[in-house]
Amino acid sequence: MEKFKKIESNAIPLPMVNVDTDMIIPKQFLKTIKRTGLGKNLFYELRYDEKDAPIDSFVLNQDKYKDSQILITGKNFGCGSSREHAPWSILDYGIKCIIASSFADIFYNNCFKNGILPIKLDESEVTKLQKAAENSLSFTIDLENQKIAYFDKNINHEVSFELDKAKKTSLLEGLDDIGLTLAKVNHISDFENKQKSRTPWLYSQQIK
């Protein structure tokens, strides 16, 4: 996984609540056996009409947001299915940071596995950032110092955010989770031996 670096970009405002993973990437695109190439179909049904033509009013189709790396959206973002195709499509599109007042658990977790930073803020703060995003202001996302900064009407605004320490490290260092766990393989083997004597049926009734 790539290390998470400081982001400077304007932000896409998507003031919708309960955006589900079916909305982020509809099922017809889940038939792939690759992680890449999903960006063009991100928010497919909101973004294209039934003849596959872009819907001009949808925010992703507006030129000024073409290269945005930040998405600002409503509460409970990413609810529904566990499909990791949702963060894959977001990342493939070029978005590396999502700001919302809350996220669904599985989606939130999936973001960190793909180098995407989901930031939780109070709803009132998100509303302010939405306004700034609508005016296409530029934001700086500084994960190291856990700060969002933007410049509006001659004033420098700074917003701090909270993040679990382990998740922060994993993003900043682009860690290989599996490698880290495998480094503790002795613990896993010890556990298996202990479990085998405590609940032996878990080991005797194996699938054939």
Partner 1 sequence: MSTPKTLYDKIWNDHLVSENEDGTSIIYIDRHLVHEVTSPQAFEGLKIANRSVRKPNFTLATADHNIPTTNRDEGISDPESKLQVDTLEENCKEHAITFLSMSDKRQGIVHIIGPEQGFTQPGMTIVCGDSHTSTHGAFGALAWGIGTSEVEHVLATQTLVQTKAKNMQINIQGELPLGVTAKDIVLKIIQTIGTAGGTGYVIEYTGDAIKSLTMEGRMTVCNMSIEAGARAGLISPDEKTIEYLKGRPFSPAENEYQSASDYWLSLASDDGAAYDKTVNIDASDIIPQVTWGTSPEDVVSIDGLVPNPEDESDETKKKSMIRALEYMGLVPNTPLKEVKVDKVFIGSCTNGRIEDLRAASKIAKDRKVADHVNAIIVPGSGLVKQQAEEEGLDKIFIESGFEWREPGCSMCLAMNADKLKPQERCASTSNRNFEGRQGRGGRTHLMSPAMAAAAAINGKLSDSREI
Selected binder of partner 1 within 75, 125, 134, 140 (CB under 8 A)? 75
Q: Which member of 9, 11, 84, 133 binds partner 1 (CB under 8 A)?
A: 84
Which of 106, 149 has the CB closer to partner 1?
106
Q: Contact 99/139 with Cβ under 8 angstroms?
A: no
Interacting residue with partner 1 among 39, 47, 62, 80 (CB under 8 A): 80
Contact 60, 124 (CB under 8 A): no
206 touches partner 1 by CB under 8 A: yes
Yes or no: say if 31 and 41 are a contact pair by the CB < 8 Å rule: no
Cα separation, 81 vs 79, in Å, equals 7
Nearer to partner 1, 128 or 138 (CB): 128
* Residue 25 sits in the site that holds partner 1 (CB under 8 A): no
Residue 2 DSSP one-character state: P
**Total number of residues binding partner 1 (CB under 8 A)?**
65
Report how far residue 184's alpha carbon sits from residue 190's, in angstroms, rounded to the nearest whole number: 10
CB–CB of 150/138 below 8 Å? yes
What single DSSP character describes residue 103?
A: B
Q: By the criterion CB under 8 A, which residues form the site for partner 1? A: 15-18, 20, 22-23, 26-28, 30-35, 45, 50, 74-76, 79-84, 87, 102-106, 109-110, 113-114, 164-166, 169, 176-182, 184-185, 187-188, 191-192, 195, 198-202, 204-208
